[in-house]
Amino acid sequence: MTTPSETIGWALSQDLVPYPAAVEAMEARVQAIADGRAQELVWLLEHPPLYTAGTSAEPQDLVSPDRFPVFKTGRGGRFTYHGPGQRVAYVMLDLKRHGRDVQGFVRALEGWLIDTLAALGVDGERREGRVGIWVTRSDGREEKIAALGIRLRRWVSFHGVSLNVAPDLGHFDGIVPCGIAEHGVTSLATLGRETEMAVVDRHLREAFERRFGATETVAAPLELSKAI
C-alpha cells in the first residue's frame, strides 16, 4: 500500500460546487484518510446559495425556508449560509497526527482565521459562548465575519470554516446565523478590505502552514474541479 504524503494536500475548485457533491466527496476522502490510503486535504471552494442546518439547528432559526435549498449536515452548530463570494475551506486532517485534542484543534482553526484576517488588515476576535470569528465596528457593533463547524470520524476532521469575502450579505436574512439574533454579519468587502479571492487564498494558505504544517498543491475532488 502506498504511504500517503506527509504534506497536507491543498486543492481549489474554480467552479461553484453543489453541496451534496461536496459532502459525498468529503465522506469518501475522510474514509480514505482514516484507512491510510489518502493524503490529508484542505479543499477551498464556493457553493451556490444555500443554507445548512447543523446538529444543533433550531427550526425557528430558519426564517425563509423557501428562499434557498436547505441541507441537513452532520457538522456541529446551527444554521449557516453558503454562497458565492464566501470562501469555504473543508479541512480533512487526521487528528492522530495533530495531537488528538479536539478543543485544541478548534482553537487552532480559529487562530488560523484570525491570523488570515490580520494579514488582510482586520482584527478578528473570539467571543466566549459564540462560535466563529467576530469583528468590532467603530460604533461598537459586533459582527461575524467567519464561521466554523467540524465533525470527526475515526479522528479525521471534515467540514471546516467559511470566511465572508464578498458575499451578498442580504442572503443571511433568511436565517438566524448560528442562532445569534442580536448580532449581524459582515465581510471583507463591507470592511473595505481585500476582495480578490486569490489574494485571500494566499493568506489562508500561509497562515494555515504556520499552524498545521507544509502543504502541496493537489487536484480538487470532483471532475468539475481544478487544481490551483
What is the spatial distance between Cα 33 and Cα 44, in angstroms, rounded to a whole number?
Answer: 18
CA distances from 26 to 17, 150, 170 (A): 12, 12, 29
Among candidate residues 41, 145, 150, 178, the one labeled active-site is 178
Tell me which DSSP letter residue 62 carries. B
Does residue 178 have an active-site annotation?
Answer: yes
The amino acid that residue 222 corresponds to is: L
Instruction: Residue 19: name the closest of 73, 75, 76, 78 by CA.
Output: 73
Q: Which three cell numbers stand for residue 143?
A: 459582527
- Which spans in 80-212 are helix H? 102-119, 197-212
Catalytic residues: 178
